[in-house]
């Protein structure tokens, strides 16, 4: 299997925040040829263990979240339309017309509907839709809806991955299944290297609703350091230069208060030494990623963040460059291979 | 259970000042013969049943309610205050309050151009004091107050200012009373503090107890009134809910499935709850240490965080039945 | 009293190094055992660690200050920036600043008022309308001395006039100075004083520090708003300068434990020290993080009232600061003598 195939498989599948069961199974299967052990923790985080040679071995954790933003049915109207709430943050303007899959007794296809323009009277016409203006249409008669779908049914966006020019691909859930694919790439590379550290690759859950998976997985593993792998905003017309990163120029390494300065330096050094293209960005406060939870777990854990540039985040056409992902996987592997007890000890006490 | 509900709803207990509720609960627990009763540093009341740590379930209901804290005593004898917990400012003008030492007050409002611009700075409490000196004899800065809204009953429905969450506490107490000694796994009941200001009691007590499973018992809003704020499918009188999610937690699917199986097997009516906003102690419990599979059982309640919180007596009885059945099932 | 030096040192959240080094040097000189952790929190262990160990008392004051971070360098050599922490935007324009660890001087500029349209003048200047000018010719010239990600702090000399102290970063160098004062005194038992990091961006250092120490009780030493200004009604003043240290009742992160509050009040009364309540329940301090650690920690907060917090020129009353030190001293003695 190639990186692109793995990305396609896991992004076309469904795994909304809090309901990551089926995607976890697919991820576990893909990692098993490269790793010693795969297990799930109390919240459903998938923990993949790659043993190192050290004794005692330093403990490294890399994590990427496998949950995607989605919806949950809150009520069913008399005529069988579904009202819904969100699991994670959406730009509601991107929803009308979007195809979805409803996980009821079976999987039902549906469409997110909106009143046609000539019925959107007055003020409302000028404004973006609110949740209460939207509904899901299954095309089924109300009895059939009620027989197969109940309040609380989880709904995921439906989107097949699209191959665009060069190495660009677009699809849903790249935030952050692209990160999970980076971890997979890292596992493949690591399987060809010698490394002292024990490496834990974690596909976390419920990041989109408050980095919840990372809170408990980090506590449970108590690693010596942790790197979160997520996506960052890719460039697009009208963006302020410093808020975005170009696609195709490598993954982005973040600095700022959420990031341990030595981890930042080491990631830059490794990228440089191995001639891996990369970018840099800064975050003036806690980042909106699992790194936020890692840094303040237990007695504090050195944290870093590596991101894949992604355009149109939180839409069903998130867009990235496969080479940026591959580069991220390689960078992580080389980084992990260079971590020894001495490096880890230097991280405590500035 | 009505007697307990009456006494619990009358007890004074805004977040951070739960002493009176805790003392009342301790008395009742003592009468019931519970011996393993402990209070932690933040004031959580912990009652344990069954030995051993294998598969321990923690069941939590918060003792605290929303309230008000005096921040200023003015020359003219009126008081300025800040809310404790989430209170809608528009529900306040004209409401009656009581302070911990029995002083009564009323919330008044200054004139403003547009009523929808109302905020807390435009409100004050009137304790019928002629001036600052008289006011200072009755209250101090830092004193707290709650809605003065004693329990009344209309058919099978109960109305009081503190159903959130004395209703949950009453359900726990009744469950403890009827729970047999022989259980498939140990259980710890916790009457938590400071839920209304951030699930704070539950967070630290879950850390202490290290439960294998968690279950929060709280009230939840209904969507069965004219043009409700949130179109939730939950209604008064249709049974307790199995919570699927709210803002603080996505309940563990295995626990929600278990709750539904048990309810179906015992023919206990229940509803499915998806809450757009709001949170409960489950939010803090499930993220403790390495994570705790957690669910929540909710008592439907109208007009939450107002003096007129309304619950249904049958929903409360069914909540107890469901909780009892759950705790006597192997998890 | 190290208030002046501490106030002038740069130490924006995430970049507290120089403040940490200054404090570390003093601790070493006084023979106080100390270490730090993976976030940069600095722990000072007072006493032999045996007497009073069961007490496990934690004092905390944060080293970081609000500031800015360079986000981009314009073609013209001007610098765009992010806020780090809740810096008061309205204080920014026309401020002199230092950029990066080399302390490159700059000024925060905006369009000259003469060139602004009438409507523009009515609106407060937001971060997007402001920039830092270091006198560079262009982007390359600027990049020779600074880089994106550099921290920026106010350039402000501290000064004393009458009994008033003026400086930047009084939040919370005043707290750090108070702890340094306490650490020089003798006590019958042991306690740990932690100089925390990253309080201004969410009390992040304190969370890890409290987990590590697992204290039985904690006291946070801070500064708080004094809004005793013209046209502010009494009910909105929060605290007043000159009326003594302020005790927090409740804020967004913490309801102060009643026993700690009572003890602080009793100590102040016993010593005849004037004190006041912080009459505001908003905002947060390290107290929230600490109190919520592990099985819960009874926690209190005592503050020096301060005008114009989060700006380049804050004011405090030295008498209030000195009284705060005496109350903390008395509190430590009291809990060592008879517990909580």
Collect all residues of chain C within an 8 Å Cβ-Cβ radius of residue B194. 255
The average confidence (pLDDT) of chain A is 94
In a domain, C27, yes or no: yes
Distance CA A89, CA A99 (A): 18
Q: Would an 8 Å CB–CB cutoff place C329 in contact with chain A?
A: no
In a domain, C162, yes or no: no
Collect all residues of chain C within an 8 Å Cβ-Cβ radius of residue B200. 255, 291-292
In a domain, C257, yes or no: yes
Collect all residues of chain C within an 8 Å Cβ-Cβ radius of residue B141. 249, 277, 279
Contact A350 C40 (CB under 8 A): yes
In a domain, C231, yes or no: yes
Q: Would an 8 Å CB–CB cutoff place B294 in contact with chain C?
A: no
Confidence of residue B246 (pLDDT cuts 50, 70, 90): very high
pTM for this predicted structure: 0.93
Q: How far, in Å, are A42, B36, B54, B188, C259 from residue B184 at the CA level?
A: 21, 18, 10, 13, 40
Q: Is the pLDDT of residue B290 over 80?
A: yes
Determine which one of B195, B196, B273, B309 is catalytic.
B195
Average pLDDT over residues A45-73: 96
Three-state secondary structure of chain A: CCHHHHHHHHHHCCCECCCCHHHHHHHHHHHHHHCCEEEECCCCCEEEEECCCCCCCCEEEEEEECCECEEEEEEECCCCCEEEEEECCCCHHHCCCCEEEEECCCEEEEEEECCCHHHCCHHHHHCCCCHHHCEEECCCCHHHHHHHCCCCCEEEECCCCEECCCCEEEECCHHHHHHHHHHHHHHHHHCCCCCCCEEEEEEECCCCCCCHHHHHHHHHHCCCEEEEEEEEEECCCCCCHHHCECCCCCCEEEECCCCCHHHHHHHHHHHHHCCCCCEEEECCCCCCCCHHHHHCCCCCCCEEEEEEEEECCCCCCEEEEHHHHHHHHHHHHHHHHCCCHHHHHHCCCC
Fold of A70-157: Elongation Factor Tu (Ef-tu); domain 3 (2.40.30)
Contact B204 C294 (CB under 8 A): yes
Contact A300 C202 (CB under 8 A): no
Are C179 and C127 in a shared domain? no
Are C285 and C217 in a shared domain? yes
Collect all residues of chain A within an 8 Å Cβ-Cβ radius of residue B331. none
In a domain, C269, yes or no: yes
Looking at the annotation, which residues of A are catalytic? 207
| pLDDT tens by residue, chain C, 340 residues | 899 999 999 999 999 999 999 999 999 999 999 999 999 999 999 998 777 667 899 999 999 999 999 999 999 999 999 999 998 888 898 899 999 999 999 999 877 777 777 777 777 778 888 899 999 999 999 999 999 999 999 999 999 999 999 999 999 999 999 999 999 999 999 999 999 999 999 999 999 999 999 999 999 999 999 999 998 998 999 999 999 999 999 999 999 999 999 999 999 999 999 999 999 999 999 999 999 999 999 999 999 999 999 989 999 999 999 999 999 999 999 999 999 8
Are C71 and C61 in a shared domain? no
Question: Can you give the residue ranges of every domain in chain A?
Answer: 3-68+172-346, 70-157
Which residue in B232, B252, B288 is closest to A74 by CB distance?
Answer: B232
Are C144 and C13 in a shared domain? no
Q: Does domain A3-68+172-346 have CATH number 3.30.420.10?
A: no
pLDDT digits (tens, 9 = 90+) for B2-17: 899 999 999 999 999 9
Task: Say if CB A141 and CB A127 are below 8 A apart.
Answer: no
Among residues 283-302 of chain B, which lie with CB inside 8 Å of chain A? 286-293
Domains of chain C: total = 2
Are C57 and C74 in a shared domain? no
Q: Is the pLDDT of residue A125 over 90?
A: no
Are C90 and C235 in a shared domain? no
Looking at residue C124, what is its pLDDT? 74
Those chains having 3 or more beta-carbon pairs within 8 angstroms of chain B are A, C
Q: Would an 8 Å CB–CB cutoff place A338 in contact with chain C?
A: no
Average pLDDT over residues A50-63: 95
User: Residues of chain B with pLDDT > 70: what percent?
Assistant: 100
Contact C236 B121 (CB under 8 A): yes
**Of C154, C187, C218, which residue constitutes the final position of a domain?**
C154
Structural domain boundaries enclosing C198: 3-65+168-338
pLDDT digits (tens, 9 = 90+) for A149-183: 999 999 999 999 999 989 999 999 999 999 999 99
pLDDT digits (tens, 9 = 90+) for A15-40: 999 999 989 999 999 999 998 899 99
Contact C298 B74 (CB under 8 A): no
Check which CATH number belongs to the domain holding C209 and give it.
3.40.630.10
Distance CA B114, CA B96 (A): 24
DSSP C100: T
- For residue B195, the SS3 value is coil
Q: Is the pLDDT of residue A124 over 70?
A: no
**Of C154, C177, C199, which residue constitutes the final position of a domain?**
C154
Q: Is the pLDDT of residue A260 over 70?
A: yes
In a domain, C161, yes or no: no
Which residue in C37, C198, C202 is closest to A299 by CB distance?
Answer: C37
pLDDT digits (tens, 9 = 90+) for C231-255: 899 899 999 999 999 999 999 999 9
Q: How close C7 gets to chain B, by Cα (Å)? A: 31
Determine which one of C181, C199, C200, C326 is catalytic.
C199
Q: Would an 8 Å CB–CB cutoff place B71 in contact with chain C?
A: yes
Q: Would an 8 Å CB–CB cutoff place B23 in contact with chain C?
A: no
What value of ipTM does the predicted structure carry?
A: 0.91
Are C89 and C237 in a shared domain? no
Looking at residue C151, what is its pLDDT? 98
pLDDT digits (tens, 9 = 90+) for C9-37: 999 999 999 999 999 999 999 999 999 99
In a domain, C159, yes or no: no
Q: Would an 8 Å CB–CB cutoff place C167 in contact with chain A?
A: no
Collect all residues with Cβ–Cβ distance below 8 Å to C252 and sequence separation of at least 6. Answer: C281, C282, C283, C284, C288
Looking at residue B1, what is its pLDDT? 81
- For residue B330, the SS3 value is coil
How far is residue C212 CA from its own chain's centroid?
A: 22
Collect all residues of chain B within an 8 Å Cβ-Cβ radius of residue C207. none
Test the A interface: residue of C14, C38, C69 with most A CBs within 10 Å: C38
Q: Would an 8 Å CB–CB cutoff place C34 in contact with chain A?
A: no
Lowest mean pLDDT among A238-247, A272-281, B200-209: A238-247
Looking at residue C220, what is its pLDDT? 98
Contact B289 A219 (CB under 8 A): yes
Assess whether B195 carries a catalytic annotation: yes
- Among candidates C179, C166, C311, which has minimal Cα distance to C241? C166
CB pairs under 8 A between A and C: 84
Are C261 and C281 in a shared domain? yes
For B2-65+162-327, CATH number out of 3.40.630.10, 3.40.605.10, 1.10.287.3240, 3.30.420.10 equals 3.40.630.10
Looking at residue C91, what is its pLDDT? 86
Looking at residue A241, what is its pLDDT? 85
Are C192 and C324 in a shared domain? yes
Collect all residues of chain B within an 8 Å Cβ-Cβ radius of residue A216. 287-291
In a domain, C176, yes or no: yes
Contact B142 C277 (CB under 8 A): yes
- For residue B286, the SS3 value is coil
Contact A242 C41 (CB under 8 A): no
Contact B293 A43 (CB under 8 A): yes
Looking at residue A126, what is its pLDDT? 67
Check which CATH number belongs to the domain holding C124 and give it.
2.40.30.40
CATH superfamily, domain B67-147, is Peptidase M42, domain 2 (2.40.30.40)
Question: Can you give the residue ranges of every domain in chain B?
Answer: 2-65+162-327, 67-147
Are C50 and C148 in a shared domain? no
Collect all residues of chain A within an 8 Å Cβ-Cβ radius of residue C201. 257, 284-286
Test the C interface: residue of B43, B69, B71, B78 with most C CBs within 10 Å: B71
Are C52 and C73 in a shared domain? no
Are C209 and C85 in a shared domain? no
Confidence of residue A10 (pLDDT cuts 50, 70, 90): very high
Collect all residues of chain B within an 8 Å Cβ-Cβ radius of residue A105. none
């Amino acid at each position: 299997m190639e990186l692109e195939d793995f990305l396609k498989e896991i992004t076309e599948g469904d795994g909304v925040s809090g309901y990551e069961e089926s995607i976890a199974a697919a991820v576990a299967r893909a990692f098993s040829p490269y790793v010693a052990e795969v297990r799930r923790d109390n919240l459903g985080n998938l923990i993949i263990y790659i043993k190192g040679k050290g004794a005692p071995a330093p403990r490294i954790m890399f994590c990427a979240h496998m949950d995607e933003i989605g919806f949950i049915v809150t009520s069913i109207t008399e005529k069988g339309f579904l009202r819904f709430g969100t699991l994670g943050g959406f730009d509601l303007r991107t929803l009308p017309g979007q195809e979805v899959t409803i996980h009821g007794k079976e999987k039902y296809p549906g469409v997110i509907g909106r009143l046609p323009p000539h019925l959107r009277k007055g003020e409302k016409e000028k404004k973006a839709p609110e949740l209460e203006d939207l509904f899901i249409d299954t095309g089924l008669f109300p009895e059939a809806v009620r027989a197969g779908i109940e309040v609380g049914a989880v709904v995921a966006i439906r989107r097949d991955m699209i191959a665009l020019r060069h190495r660009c691909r677009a699809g849903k859930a790249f935030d952050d299944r692209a990160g999970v694919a980076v971890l997979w790439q890292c596992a493949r590379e690591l399987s060809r290297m010698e490394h002292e550290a024990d490496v834990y690759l974690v596909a976390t859950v419920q990041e989109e609703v408050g980095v919840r998976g990372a809170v408990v997985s980090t506590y449970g593993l108590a690693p010596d350091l942790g790197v979160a792998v997520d996506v960052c905003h890719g460039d697009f017309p009208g963006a302020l230069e410093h808020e975005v990163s170009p696609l195709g120029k490598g993954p982005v390494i973040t600095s700022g208060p959420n990031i341990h300065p030595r981890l930042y330096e080491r990631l830059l050094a490794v990228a440089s030494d191995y001639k891996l293209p990369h970018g840099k960005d800064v975050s003036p406060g806690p980042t909106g990623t699992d790194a936020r939870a890692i840094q303040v777990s237990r007695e504090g854990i050195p944290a870093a963040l590596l991101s894949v540039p992604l355009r149109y985040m939180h839409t069903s056409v998130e867009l990235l460059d496969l080479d940026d992902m591959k580069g991220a996987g390689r960078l992580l592997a080389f980084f992990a291979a260079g971590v020894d007890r001495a490096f880890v000890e230097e991280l405590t006490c500035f | 259970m009505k007697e307990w509900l009456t006494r619990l709803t009358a007890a004074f207990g805004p977040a951070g000042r739960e002493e009176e509720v805790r003392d009342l609960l301790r008395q009742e627990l003592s009468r019931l013969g519970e011996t393993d009763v402990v209070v932690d540093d933040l004031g959580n009341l912990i009652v344990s049943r069954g030995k051993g740590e294998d598969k321990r379930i923690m069941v939590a209901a918060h003792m605290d309610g929303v309230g008000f804290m005096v921040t200023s005593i003015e020359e003219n004898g009126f008081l300025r205050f800040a809310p404790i917990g989430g209170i809608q400012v528009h529900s306040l003008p004209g409401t009656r309050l009581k302070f911990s030492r029995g002083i009564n007050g009323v919330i008044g409002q200054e004139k403003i151009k547009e009523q929808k611009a109302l905020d807390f700075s435009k409100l004050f409490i009137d304790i019928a004091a002629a001036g600052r000196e008289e006011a200072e004899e009755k209250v101090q800065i830092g004193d707290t107050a709650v809605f003065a809204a004693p329990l009344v009953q209309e058919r099978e429905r109960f109305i009081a200012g503190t159903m959130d969450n004395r209703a949950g506490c009453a359900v726990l107490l009744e469950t403890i009373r009827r729970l047999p000694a022989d259980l498939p796994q140990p259980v710890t009941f916790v009457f938590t503090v400071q839920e209304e200001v951030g699930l704070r009691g539950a967070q630290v007590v879950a850390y202490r107890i290290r439960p294998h499973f968690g279950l929060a018992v709280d009230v939840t809003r209904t969507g069965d009134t004219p043009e409700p704020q949130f179109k939730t499918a939950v209604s008064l009188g249709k049974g307790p809910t199995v919570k699927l999610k709210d803002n603080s937690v996505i309940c563990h699917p295995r626990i929600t499935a278990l709750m539904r199986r048990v309810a179906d097997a015992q023919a206990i009516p229940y509803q499915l709850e998806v809450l757009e906003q709001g949170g409960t102690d489950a939010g803090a419990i499930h993220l403790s240490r390495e994570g705790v599979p957690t669910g929540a059982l909710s008592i439907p309640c109208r007009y939450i965080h107002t003096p007129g919180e309304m619950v249904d007596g049958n929903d409360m009885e069914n909540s107890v039945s469901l909780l009892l059945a759950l705790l006597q099932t192997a998890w | 009293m190290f208030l002046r030096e501490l106030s002038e040192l740069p130490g924006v959240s995430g970049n507290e190094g120089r403040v940490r080094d200054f404090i570390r040097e003093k601790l070493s000189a006084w023979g106080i055992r100390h270490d730090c952790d993976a976030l940069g929190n600095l722990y000072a262990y007072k006493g032999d660690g045996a007497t009073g160990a069961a007490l496990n008392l934690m004092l905390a004051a944060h080293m970081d200050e609000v500031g800015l971070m360079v986000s981009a360098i314009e073609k013209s050599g001007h610098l765009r920036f992010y806020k780090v922490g809740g810096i008061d935007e309205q204080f920014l324009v026309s401020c002199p600043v230092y950029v990066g660890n080399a302390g490159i001087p700059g000024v925060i500029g905006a369009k000259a008022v003469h060139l602004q349209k009438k409507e523009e003048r009515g609106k407060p200047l937001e971060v997007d309308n402001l920039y830092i000018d270091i006198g560079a010719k262009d982007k390359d010239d600027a990049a020779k001395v600074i880089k994106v990600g550099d921290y920026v702090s106010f350039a402000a000399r501290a000064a004393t006039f009458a009994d008033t102290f003026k400086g930047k970063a009084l939040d919370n160098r005043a707290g750090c100075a108070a702890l340094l004062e306490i650490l020089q005194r003798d006590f019958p038992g042991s306690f740990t004083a932690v100089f925390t990091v990253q309080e201004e961006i969410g009390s992040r250092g304190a969370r890890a520090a409290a987990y590590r120490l697992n204290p039985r009780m904690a006291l946070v030493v801070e500064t708080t708003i004094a809004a005793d200004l013209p046209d502010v009604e009494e009910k909105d003043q929060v605290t007043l300068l000159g009326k003594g240290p302020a005790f927090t009742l409740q804020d967004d992160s913490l309801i102060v434990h009643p026993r700690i509050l009572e003890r602080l009040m009793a100590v102040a009364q016993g010593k005849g020290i004037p004190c006041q309540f912080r009459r505001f329940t908003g905002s947060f301090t390290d107290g929230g993080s600490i109190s919520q650690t592990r099985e819960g920690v009874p926690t209190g907060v005592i503050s020096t009232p301060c005008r114009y917090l989060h700006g380049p020129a804050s004011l405090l009353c030295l008498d209030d600061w000195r009284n705060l030190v005496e109350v903390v001293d008395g509190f430590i003695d009291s809990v060592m003598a008879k517990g909580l």
